[in-house]
């Protein structure tokens, strides 16, 4: 396509070259892989088509393309300028009837949608709502009443209103999206799941928590059926917040426990970390920073960091977990011992054997306190201790830290495989 364009550039007049540039630029913008190249074609098209200063649909399309490409390049002020010019030009075309309404509407829709996106990116969300609503109104005219695309447009506008906390305005658009998608796609479609998730957020904002939880649970069922684990985890985090709002604290803790276990099961460690962090923050806000459930989640965060070969971050997480569990469960509780064991492993992974040995000695002492019921655990802990001592003898320790890392200053550390690290799925009853 690009080679053919070069051939025609030498033979055709400037307007034809401009039209070809517009077509290529639109295609490149749609593909989204090379915005700089798309920009060069958009610029060429605008210069060629806008020479006489007369309003035309092609000039409006070139301006819209310039706005879209600059948005992709995060040049928001430039994008806004081109889109505003396109918007004014389209209004003039409609007023003077230079072009047909059928030709104007698709371009007008694209311009309004882009204006909404640009203003949102610039933090002008309230202003963006006006453009997004106009884009929806055009879709309502041009699309069939019950088509899927119109349902998505209703949901997008509902989400936009929810993002500025205008839940009352958001609700009818969310309900309309759900109505369309249920009718056209059935009750178990992914679109219906997305609609219900947004409705859950909206009802939460309106403090109608029972309705919110109902929508969330219906959404989760569909997401489970489709195996969409990442979206399901996000819905489960929402559900925990709703349960807390309703005073269902035990259910909230069980939900968060399920999130922790699911992130381990899925073995998507980098993706799991933000969900674990969210779970920890929810528990801390609701039950206090020393609740054993918070320690449970920090322990899993440490295991996730260790699996990502980030032993320093892991050690900090394990240290937080140990501090919490020692207070809430006692240092000789099984979960506290496991966390101490994990802390030893983190320091071992850093090559800091004196610290690894220090914490492993605590593990051995703790298992000894359990007597005959923990003989196997004690034997394993002693074996690990001897291995650490052997490694320490073979390695100069001068270059490694001999003082424990400080705990993170914030609630979480800033941001390949150690299969023996315990993710502690069954602990402490675990998080009742």
User: Using one digit for the tens of pLDDT, what is the confidence trace for 320-336?
Assistant: 889 988 888 888 898 89
Based on the fold, state whether residues 422 and 388 are members of the same structural domain: yes
Question: Which has more pLDDT, 12 or 388?
Answer: 388
Where a domain ends, among 283, 306, 341?
283
**For residues 274 and 297, what is the distance between their CA atoms, to the nearest angstrom?**
12
pLDDT digits (tens, 9 = 90+) for 235-249: 887 887 788 778 787
Based on the fold, state whether residues 253 and 336 are members of the same structural domain: no
Based on the fold, state whether residues 358 and 305 are members of the same structural domain: yes
Q: Is the pLDDT of residue 268 over 60?
A: no
Torsions phi, psi for 395 (to 5 deg): -125, 135
Based on the fold, state whether residues 262 and 299 are members of the same structural domain: no
pLDDT digits (tens, 9 = 90+) for 413-425: 333 333 344 444 4
Based on the fold, state whether residues 200 and 311 are members of the same structural domain: no
Name the residue range of residue 142's domain: 2-283
Where a domain ends, among 283, 301, 333?
283
Work out the angle at residue 324's Cα, subtended by the Cα atoms of residues 335 and 422, and round it to the nearest 5 degrees. Answer: 35
Residue among 237, 185, 230 nearest 216 (CA):
237
DSSP type of residue 408: P
Helix axes 35-49, 14-31, angle to 10 degrees: 150
> What local confidence, expressed as pLDDT, does residue 7 receive?
53
Residues in Cβ contact with 109 at an 8 Å cutoff, skipping those fewer than 6 apart: 135, 138, 139, 142
Ranges of beta strands (E only) in 25-179 are none
Residues in Cβ contact with 386 at an 8 Å cutoff, skipping those fewer than 6 apart: none
Based on the fold, state whether residues 139 and 272 are members of the same structural domain: yes
Of the pLDDT bands very low, low, confident and very high (cuts 50, 70, 90), residue 55 is: confident
326 to 168, 228, 229, 382: CA distances (angstroms) = 46, 37, 33, 21
Percent of the chain beyond pLDDT 90? 48
Work out the angle at residue 219's Cα, subtended by the Cα atoms of residues 161 and 215, and round it to the nearest 5 degrees. Answer: 60
Q: Is the pLDDT of residue 72 over 90?
A: yes
Q: Which two tokens stand for residue 136?
A: 């929806």
> What local confidence, expressed as pLDDT, does residue 266 receive?
52
- Cα distance from N-terminal residue to C-terminal residue, the chain: 63
Using DSSP, state whether 349 is helix, strand or coil: helix
- Calculate the CA dihedral of residues 360, 365, 366, 370 and round it to 10 degrees: 140
Q: Is the pLDDT of residue 361 over 80?
A: yes
**For residues 45 and 86, what is the distance between their CA atoms, to the nearest angstrom?**
14
Based on the fold, state whether residues 153 and 204 are members of the same structural domain: yes
**For residues 26 and 67, what is the distance between their CA atoms, to the nearest angstrom?**
12
For the segment 255-265, the average pLDDT, to the nearest whole number, is 67
Based on the fold, state whether residues 405 and 416 are members of the same structural domain: yes
Based on the fold, state whether residues 261 and 346 are members of the same structural domain: no
Of the pLDDT bands very low, low, confident and very high (cuts 50, 70, 90), residue 398 is: very low
**For residues 12 and 408, what is the distance between their CA atoms, to the nearest angstrom?**
66
Q: Is the dihedral of CA 207, 208, 213, 216 positive or negative?
A: negative
For the segment 185-204, the average pLDDT, to the nearest whole number, is 94
Question: Which has more pLDDT, 316 or 99?
Answer: 316
**For residues 100 and 142, what is the distance between their CA atoms, to the nearest angstrom?**
14
Furthest C-alpha separation in the chain: 94
Based on the fold, state whether residues 323 and 264 are members of the same structural domain: no
Based on the fold, state whether residues 313 and 262 are members of the same structural domain: no
For the segment 76-91, the average pLDDT, to the nearest whole number, is 96
DSSP type of residue 373: G
CB 292 within 8 A of CB 428: yes
Provide the number of structural domains found in the chain: 2
Q: What is the CATH number of the domain that holds 235?
A: 1.25.40.10
Question: Which has more pLDDT, 173 or 123?
Answer: 173
Based on the fold, state whether residues 183 and 300 are members of the same structural domain: no
Where a domain ends, among 239, 267, 283?
283
Work out the angle at residue 407's Cα, subtended by the Cα atoms of residues 401 and 411, and round it to the nearest 5 degrees. Answer: 150
pLDDT digits (tens, 9 = 90+) for 207-233: 899 999 999 999 999 998 888 877 887
């Amino acid at each position: 396509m690009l080679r053919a364009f070069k051939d025609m550039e030498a033979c055709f007049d400037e307007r034809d070259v401009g039209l070809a540039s517009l077509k290529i630029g639109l295609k490149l913008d749609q593909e989204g892989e090379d915005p700089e190249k798309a920009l060069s074609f958009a610029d060429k098209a605008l210069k060629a088509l806008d020479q006489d200063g007369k309003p035309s649909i092609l000039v409006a399309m070139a301006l819209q393309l310039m706005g879209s490409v600059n948005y992709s390049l995060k040049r928001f002020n430039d994008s806004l300028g081109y889109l505003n010019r396109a918007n004014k030009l389209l209004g003039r075309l409609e007023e003077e009837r230079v072009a047909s309404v059928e030709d104007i509407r698709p371009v007008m829709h694209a311009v309004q949608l882009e204006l909404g996106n640009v203003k949102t990116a610039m933090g002008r969300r309230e202003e963006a709502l006006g453009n997004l609503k106009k884009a929806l109104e055009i879709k309502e005219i041009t699309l069939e009443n019950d088509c899927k695309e119109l349902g998505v447009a209703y949901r997008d506008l509902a989400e936009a209103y929810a993002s500025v906390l205008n839940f009352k305005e958001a609700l009818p658009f969310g309900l309309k999206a759900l109505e369309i998608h249920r009718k056209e796609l059935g009750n178990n479609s992914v679109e219906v799941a997305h609609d219900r998730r947004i409705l859950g957020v909206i009802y939460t904002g309106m403090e109608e928590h029972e309705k919110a939880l109902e929508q969330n649970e219906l959404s989760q069922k569909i997401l489970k059926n489709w195996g969409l684990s990442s979206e399901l985890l996000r819905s489960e985090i929402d559900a925990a917040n709703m349960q807390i709002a309703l005073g269902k604290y035990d259910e909230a803790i069980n939900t968060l426990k399920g999130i922790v276990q699911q992130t381990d099961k899925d073995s998507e460690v980098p993706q799991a970390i933000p969900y674990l962090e969210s779970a920890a923050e929810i528990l801390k806000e609701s039950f206090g920073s020393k609740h054993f459930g918070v320690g449970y989640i920090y322990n899993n965060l440490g295991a996730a960091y260790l699996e990502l070969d980030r032993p320093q971050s892991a050690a900090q997480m394990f240290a937080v977990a140990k501090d919490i569990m020692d207070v809430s469960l006692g240092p000789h509780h099984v979960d506290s011992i496991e966390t101490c064991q994990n802390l030893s492993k983190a320091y071992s992974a850093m090559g800091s054997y004196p610290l690894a040995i220090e914490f492993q000695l605590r593990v051995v002492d703790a298992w000894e306190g359990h007597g005959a019921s923990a003989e196997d655990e004690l034997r394993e802990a002693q074996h690990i201790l001897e291995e650490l001592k052997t490694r320490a003898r073979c390695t100069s320790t001068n270059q490694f830290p001999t003082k424990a890392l400080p705990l993170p200053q914030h609630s979480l550390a800033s941001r390949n495989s150690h299969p023996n690290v315990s993710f502690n799925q069954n602990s402490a009853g675990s998080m009742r």
